[in-house]
A and B are shown apart, each in its own frame.
Chain A
Amino acid sequence: MPIKRPKIAVFKFASCDGCQLSLLDAEDELLAVAAAVDIANFPEASRRMLKGPYDIGLVEGSITTPHDVERIRGIRKMCRVLITIGACATAGGIQALRNWKDVKDFTRLVYASPEHISTLDRSMPIGSYVHVDFELRGCPINKYQLLEVLNAFLNKRKPNVPTHAVCIECKLRGTVCVMVAKGTACLGPVTQAGCNALCPSFDRGCFGCYGPMDNPNPHALSKHLGQLGESRRDIMLLFRGFNAYAEAFRKESEAHEE
C-alpha cells in the first residue's frame, strides 16, 4: 500500500508573494519536495485546490481586513501545524507602517473612492489572531530555512533555525564589520541571522529583514548609532522598516519619535 503523503497548503494574506515564491525558487529541490508531500493547495502554482484538513499550512502575509480575520481562523482549524513565513506574517510587514497613522488618512491619500475600502486600523501578524506553531522570519524568507522547517515538522523534530545575531554570521564568513571599519549604520547586532550577513558582505549596513534576534539590546545599538552621527529621525526610520511592528524594534523606533 502506498504511504499517504502529508498534505501541505499555502495561504496568502497581505504580502508581496515573495515568500511563497521561495518554494518555486527552490529549483533544485522543488520536484523532490513535490514527490515527498502532496501540495494540496498552492494557488500561486496550481488550479488544483484540495479541501482540508492539511498536515501543514504555510501562511504568508499579515492580517489587515475584517474578512481576513475570519479567514485565518478558518485556516487554523484546517491545519494540524500552522507555520507563518516572512516578515508580514510574523510581524505585520512593511504595511504595518500604517499602525502609527490614521488609516482613514492613508485611504484618502491613495484611493479616489475611500468609502469602498474595507480595512483594519492595523496590519498585524498572524500570531496575534491564532496560535502559530512556528514563525519563520525574513523579508524574504531564506528558502533553505523553509526546506529545513518543513523537513523538521514532517519528521517531528525541532527546526534548526538559529536565533542569534547577524553579527555572528559576519564573523563566521569573515566579513569585516561595516560599523567598526566604515562607521556604517547597521542593525546586525540586534537582527536575527538567516541571510548569511548579506548586506555587510555587499558593503552596506543590515536593515533588519529578519527582525529582532533573541534577547536584543536595541537601546545600546541606538546609542552607538547616535555616536556615529545618525540623527534621531534616521535611527527611528532604521528600526521602522520591514519588521517595524516586532516589539523590540517598535519600542526602539517609538523612543526616537520627534
Chain B
Amino acid sequence: MLRRSGKRVKPMKNRVIKVDTLARVEGEGGVFIKISDGKITDVKFRIYEPPRFFEAFLRGRNYSEAPDITARICGICPIAYQMSAVHAIEDAFDVTVGGQLRALRRLIYCGEWIESHVLHVYMLHAPDFLGYEDVLQLAKDKPDVVKTALRMKKIGNELVRIIGGREIHPINVKVGGFYRVPRKKDLLALVDDLQWARDRAVDTAKLVATFEFPDLEQDYEFVALHHPDEYPFNGGRFISTRGLDIAIREYEFHFEERHIPHANALHSVQKGVGAYQVGPLARFNLNFDQLTPIARQVAQDLGALPPIKNPFKSIIVRSIETIYALEEAHRIIEQYEEPDAPAVKIVPQAGIGFGASEAPRGTLYHRYRLDDEGVILDAKIVPPTAQNQPSIESDMRKFVSTHIDMDREQLTWRVEQAIRNYDPCISCATHFVKITWE
C-alpha cells in the first residue's frame, strides 16, 4: 500500500510521467513515459550516467590489474567484477583454482550477496512496499527493524572485510587466488553472527512475504548460471527456462548488445529471441534444488516456490538467497583449512578467456584477449543491468498499461518501484552506455 497516496484524480488521456532522478538505485537514471489518447506511446528507462570507457582503457594494462580496475565499475558489487575477471583470465591461461582457494572465493562472494541483498531489501526496496520515501523515515517508526537490518548488512561486510581487506573495492583478490589467505580463527569469530543473521534472514523472508504485491507477470525467459554441485556463484553453464544450455565461452554466440539510440538505452538481447532476465528470480527459478534445506523450507512455508514470475516478489527471493548465503558462509568456514599457498602459480600465455559469475543483481560476463606476456589486448564486459534493461522497460510498459487510471503520483511511485525490482546498477550498466539528453 502506498501511504502517501494523495487524492484520487481523474485519469487523463494525455500525460507524461517523468522522474528526473530515479532514487534508491545505484547510479543515475530517470523515467520517461508518454501517454497519448489513453495509450502508451513512449517508455524510457533513461540513463544519463556518463560513460567511463572501461573496456577501452583496459587495453594495454597488465592482466594482474584487471581485478582491481574492473572492481571500480561498481562500488556495490566489486567482488562480482573481481570474480568474473579472475575466472576469465585464468581461463585464458589454462589455470584452474580449486580446493580451499575456490571455497574462499565463494565465501567472499557470500559476503557481497549478504550486504548487497540486505541493502536492497531493507534500504532500497522495502520502503516502497511500506510507503516510506527511504529507510531513515522507516527507522523513525520501526527503529528495531532497521537496526537489525543494519547489523545483518554489517555482518556481510565483515566477511568481505576479513577476506578482502575492506568492504568497498577489496584489495586481496588476484588472478590465481589471493595475496594473503585469512586465518581460520578470524573466520570462526564470525560464526555466531552468521547464525544470528541467518535467523534474522528467515524473519526477513517471512516479513516481506506479507507485503502487498502488485499484479505483474510476464512470460520472461530466465537465464542464470547453473553448476552441478552448488547454487551458482562462480562458473558453471548458462541455462534458461526455455532450454538454453551453453558453456560460458559460448555466451556471445547467443547474446548480443545493441546500442539503440531512439530507445536511449543499450540493451542486451538473446539473438533471434529478444529480451531475457537475469538476477535472483532467474537463479531461484533455475537452481531451486540447490538451495539449503532451510532456505527451501522457508520458500515452501511462504508458498514462494518456483517459478516466481512477478518481479515485485524478487524481494522475497533476495531474502531467501540471503538465508542461503549465510548458511553457505557458515558451511565454508567450518570446513576451511588454511591452504599452503595463497595463490596458484600463474604463467601468462596468449589467448582468449571467458568468465561469468552471479553478481547479486544477475549474471556478469567478462571476456579478455591477452598476449603472451599477459597484456590485455581487448576486453568485453556485460553487466546484469544491461541484460535486464529490455525486461525493465517491458515491465514499465505493462504496468502502466494495466494501471492507466491510477493517480499520477501513485503511478509514478509504482513505476519507480517496478524498476527497483531489478536492483538496477546504473553505474555498472553505463560503464559503456551514454544516453543523449532530451
**A22 in the interface (beta carbon within 8 A):** yes
Q: Mark A73-116, 1 if CB is under 8 A from B, else 0.
A: 00000000000000000000111011001010111011111001
B146 adjacent to A31 (CB under 8 Å): yes
With the chains together, A195 CA to B41 CA distance in Å?
51
Query: Could you tell me the distance in whole angstroms from the C-beta of B125 to the nearest C-beta in chain A?
Result: 12
List A28-66 residues whose CB lies under 8 Å from chain B. 28, 30-31, 34, 39, 42-49, 64-65
Assuming the contacts A94-B69, A140-B75, asked whether A202 and B172 have C-beta atoms less than 8 A apart, the reply is: yes
Instruction: Tell me if B76 and A110 are in contact (CB < 8 A).
Output: no
Bound state CA distance, A22 and B68, in angstroms? 18
**Contact at B56–A110, with CB atoms within 8 Å?**
yes
Chain A positions 160 through 195: 1 when the CB is less than 8 Å from some CB of chain B, otherwise 0: 000000000000000000000000000000000001
Find residues 128-150 in chain B having any chain A CB closer than 8 Å to their own CB.
133-137, 139, 143, 146-147, 150
B119 interfacial by beta-carbon distance below 8 Å:
yes
A97 to B135: give the CA distance in the assembly, Å.
37
Among A8-16, A126-134, A215-223, the stretch that binds chain B is A8-16
Q: Is B403 an interface residue (CB 8 A)?
A: no
A16 and B56 within 8 A (CB): no
* Neighbouring B residues of A94 by C-beta, 8 Å: 52, 54, 57, 69, 72
CA A28 to CA B149, docked complex, whole Å: 11
Q: Are A25 and B51 in contact (CB under 8 A)?
A: no
- A-side contacts of B153, CB under 8 Å: 27
Q: A147 an interface residue at 8 Å Cβ cutoff?
A: no
Q: Which of B23, B26, B55, B416 contacts A49 (CB 8 A)?
A: B23
Q: B161-183: which have CB < 8 Å to A?
A: 165-169, 171-172, 174, 179-180
Cβ contact within 8 Å between A27 and B23: no
List residues of B whose CB falls within 8 A of some A CB. 21-28, 48-57, 59, 61-62, 65, 68-69, 72-76, 78, 119, 123-124, 133-137, 139, 143, 146-147, 150-151, 153-154, 157, 165-169, 171-172, 174, 179-180, 257-259, 261, 342, 413, 416, 425, 427, 432, 434, 436-437
Chain A to chain B contacts (Cβ below 8 Å), 26 pairs: A16-B74, A17-B76, A17-B427, A18-B169, A21-B75, A25-B157, A25-B167, A43-B21, A44-B23, A45-B23, A46-B135, A47-B23, A47-B134, A64-B52, A67-B437, A94-B54, A95-B53, A109-B59, A110-B53, A111-B259, A111-B434, A116-B259, A140-B169, A198-B171, A202-B180, A203-B180
